Structures are given as structure tokens and as C-alpha cells.
Structure 1
Amino acid sequence: MTTDKTSPDLICLGALAGSYGVRGEVRLKSFCAEPSDIAEYSPLSTEDGSKSYPVTLTRAIKNGFAARIGGIETKEEADALKGLRLYAPRDRLPALPDDEFYHADLIGLDVVDTGGTLLGRVRAVMDHGAGDLLEIAPPGQTNTVLLPFTLEAVPTVDLDAGRIVADPPEGLF
């Protein structure tokens, strides 16, 4: 997921990975649990909300979708948007069960151990296919630590208190 410091009212749903073909289509990477759902939240906006783009998926391709973005007609215009992250307002997204979280809600939370000692702050949430990992920046260190985001390693996420209680494997921190 993303490490962007966006408004808590915006959730990053995808990113553009350049052009697809020569007629203005883009390569779209979806960050949604069900990747094709990204089109249901159209129009999507830039991080600052200054631009809004209607999104229409045209077909599935390797690592995402080919899509039409409103106002983009040429390969050059599509290439110029490479790397652009697309956001939707939180109120347009479904409510989550108590044991699920949007990655954007976890980024920036303090991580403490079961004794209350500060272990660091969540810098990013990553998913490499085998489950989510929390990238944690320990205080005063430049290296980060990857903590599996499992019930065993992370028994408590308290969004109201702005913290995560972790029980990391021995020797991780």
C-alpha cells in the first residue's frame, strides 16, 4: 500500500503505470481487495483533489488493467500520467469489519510491545502475496523492521488511540 500522507478522508485505490497502446489507454494498477472494483469508485481524484478522472476498465492485462481515463486521448498524455496515484473519498468506500483495516489507517500509528514500550511507527503496509507486512521505523534508527500483520504478531489495533500493540517474534526488534 501507500506511504502517502494524504487527507484521512481520501484512500489511495490505484496508480497509473504508463500508457497501454497508442490510443490513450493507460495501465492501471488497482489496490482494491477485488481489483476490478476500482471502476465502481469512479471518478477518482489526485491526492490533492485538484483533478478528477472518470475511469473505465477496458480489459485485464498482466499486473492490472488497461483503462480509459477521462480527458486522456493520446499515448503521450497517458505516459505523462505515469506514477499518478488515484484516490476516492472514504465515504464512498464500504465499511470494514472490526478485524479489517484500510492500509492508510495504519500508516503513521505508533507500535508498542505488550509492555507498552515504543517499538516504532508504521511507515508502510506491504503485501507481497503471502500476507501483509508492517514496515516499522524504530525511533532513532534509519533501518526499518518488517512485522507480519497477523493476529499472533499484532493482537491489537486501536485506531482511536493511534497505536498498535505488537507481540513480535523474539529478536525482531
Structure 2
Amino acid sequence: MTTRRPRTPGRTPASRRPIPRRVPTTPPAAATDLPTPEAKAGADGERRVVLAVAIGAHGVAGEVRLKVFAEDLGAHTVLNGGALTLRSVRPGNNGAIARFAEVSSRDAAEALRGTQLWVPRDSLPPLEEGEYYHADLIGLAAFSDTDEPLGTVVAVENFGAGDVLEIERPTGKRFMVPMRADAVPEWNAERLVVTTAFIEA
């Protein structure tokens, strides 16, 4: 499959917001079993996609401040395997403000700080021709067009000119590759190919 357009979780096909490799908060002990944004499976082997992370409480009525990685978080009401039910979400400063059925106080909202909100990968809308989810690229093995192993895709960034893949070599060194047809001519569920001209030594 050699699709071109990215798609993050939600219902906006032309979305170009990446799912970050790291989140800005440190999960509390209660949340340490949750996947990081680049994780492709939970402890039970289920593939998961992180849509947002809780970054604190808002007000005194149990609302939660979120950093959102998806275009339309409100399209997903059942989160974290049914542990959280999203009742409402609205824009907030540097993110969004959400209300969950299970959270009714500021203390309960604050206790969610660092918790990542995820859905199973197979619950996301099907992709159309020319689309991909960032989560499907992260973790792929990267090879040159002469079949030389290069490393692993560890992040998908966007600095305003389109998606850019961050590839980590086995040595730990990283390099960036634009997600364009001339740089990444093909990929599938197991690997992607990078044109030699775009490979950094």
C-alpha cells in the first residue's frame, strides 16, 4: 500500500496532526500500565491508539484538562476499555476540557493527571484510498530501496510542510525523512522503504 494522506483518529480525512512520541506529563502509579502514544499493543496484545492525555483538573466539578492528539475526540465516547465514558468535550487553553461520567470531583479529576485515553485500533473509522493513521507508521521497520535495514520509525512530526518520519537506527542515532512519494515510495503493515537520497549516514 502506498497511500499519501495522513489520518489521525477522528473523522477529518485531511488531518495532519501527529500523534507525538512522548507526552508532556509523567503518569502516576495508577496509570503506568497504559500505553505510550507510540505503543501498538496493550498487555493483552490488543492494538491501541492514544487519543489524548489528562493534564490536570479544571474547576471544582470534575472536569479534566486534556492534551488532545486526535482531530475529533468527541467521536469516541468509550475510552480505556470502558473504564471512562466521555460525556462532553470543548476547546480549552492549550488543549481541551472534558467531562467523564465516572469523574465528579476536582480530586477525582486531578487523580487522572497523566492518564492516557485510548481506543482499540480496530474501532477507528476505516481508511479511504490515500490515507493512513500515524499510529500505523510508528514502530515500522525502515529499509533502504536496496533492502538495507535502517532502523525503526519512532515518531511522526509535522512542522507545517507535511508529515516527517523520525527513524532511529540501532545505534540510537536518529534522522528525519519527509513522508512523500519520492522519499518513501512504499510501505505496508510490516515495513516501509526509504529512497537512498533521503537517508542520512
TM-score bin (small chain):
0.7 to 0.9
- Is residue 43 from structure 1 mapped to residue 78 from structure 2 by the alignment? yes
- Is the 1:44–1:53 Cα contact (8 Å) retained in structure 2? yes
Number of paired residues? 163
Q: Partner of 1:54: helix, strand, or coil?
A: strand
Instruction: Answer 1 or 2: higher relative contact order, Cα 8 Å, separation at least 6.
Output: 2
Quote the offset at 1:129 in angstroms.
4.1
Write out the 4+ residue segments of structure 1 that deviate beyond 3 Å after TM superposition.
127-130, 168-171
Is 2:146 aligned against 1:118? no
Deviations, residues 32-55 of structure 1 (Å, cap 9, x unaligned): 2xx2x212211111xxx4x52111
Q: % of aligned pairs identical?
A: 36
Counterpart of 2:176, as a letter, is L
Please state how far the C-alpha of 1:92 moved relative to its aligned partner.
2.5
Deviation at 1:96, TM superposition (A): 0.8
Q: Which residue of 1 aligns with 2:16?
A: none
Deviation at 1:10, TM superposition (A): 2.3
The residue number in structure 2 matching 1:143 is 173
Paired position in structure 1 for 2:132 = 101
Corresponding residue of 2:57 = 19
Superposition CA RMSD, Å: 2.1
Picking from 84, 102, 106, the partner of 1:53 is 84
Q: For 1:154, which of 163, 184, 193 is the aligned residue?
A: 184
Residue 164 (structure 1) aligned with residue 199 (structure 2)? no
Q: Which runs of 5+ in 1 are unaligned?
A: none
For residue 5 of structure 1, report the CA deviation from its aligned partner.
Answer: 4.1
For residues 87-115 of structure 1, what are the alpha-carbon distances to aligned partners after superposition, in whole Å with 9 as ceiling and x for unaligned? 11233211112432222221221111111
Q: 1:66 aligns with which of 97, 103, 109?
A: 97
Contact in 2 for aligned 1:147/1:168 (Cα 8 Å): no
Whichever residue aligns with residue 178 of structure 2, its letter is P
Q: Determine if contact 1:27/1:67 at 8 Å carries over to the other structure.
A: yes
Unpaired runs of at least 5, structure 2: 1-18, 20-36
Alignment of 1:81-92 (within 5 A): 81-92=112-123
The structural deviation recorded for 1:63 is: 2.7
Structure 2 SS opposite 1:78: helix
